[in-house]
Structure formats: structure tokens, C-alpha cells
Amino acid sequence: MEDGISIQFEQREGAQHMRVDGELSLASAGRMKSALLQLAASGGPAVINLAGITRIDLPGLQLLCSAHRTFCARNANFELSESSEEVRRTASDAGYLMRSSVCPYRRGDNCLWK
């Protein structure tokens, strides 16, 4: 975890699951982007668990939104199964809330920030 992040993959329940622990920040964005591209290449649904995130910054939030848009454009499911209080607080503080979202990729309630 030299860049502050741990990423683990598991295939189950017909979806690729990814658990991310540590700090999702600019310092770890490159490795997180690679992991998200790996998920997208699988072509199937993806479920992300962020319960172990201890710190997230705006680039981390933007990276997750970008991945969500990529999956939506491919008509593939991308969702958060769990997120830490830090993720929820930072997303809220940054204005990432479904009820106020103006994301052009959102369809119904498929926003990550429910």
C-alpha cells in the first residue's frame, strides 16, 4: 500500500466486486484508474465497496463519477455497495448528491451518491 490504497477484486453473484481501502486521493488516482479500467474491460456489472476508505479528495470523487459515466455509456451496471462515513461526508460537502445532481448521464436513480 505504498500509495495509500489497497484494491481487491472478487467475482461473485454475476458481478465483478472491488473493495478499496485506505486513501483515495490524487496520490492513488493512477492505480485506482487502472483498477477501474480493468473493471470496465470485464464488460459486466461492477460493485464497488468503499467502506474501508479513510480519506477521499475531489479527484477521487471525480474518478468514481467518470467510471460511473463509462459504465452507463456501455449500458453496464456500476454501483457502490458500501461507503465509509468519510466518503459520504466528502461527497456531500462537494455537492455530490443525487437530489441535486445535474449529471447528464444519470437515468432515474442510478446516481452513485444516493
Where in the chain are the domains? 5-100
Q: Are 22 and 50 in contact (CB under 8 A)?
A: no
Q: Are 54 and 20 in contact (CB under 8 A)?
A: no
**This prediction's pTM:** 0.88
pLDDT per residue over 37-61, tens digit each?
999 888 889 999 999 999 999 999 9
Identify the CATH assignment for 5-100 out of 3.10.105.10, 3.30.750.24, 3.40.190.290, 3.40.50.620.
Answer: 3.30.750.24
Dihedral pair phi/psi, residue 3, rounded to 5°: -100, 10
Q: In this predicted structure, what is the pLDDT of residue 108?
A: 67
Pair type for strands 15-24 and 5-12: antiparallel
pLDDT per residue over 77-114, tens digit each?
888 999 999 999 999 898 887 666 667 766 667 777 77
Q: CA gyration radius for the chain?
A: 13
Paired strand residues for 56 = 24
Q: How many residues does the chain have?
A: 114
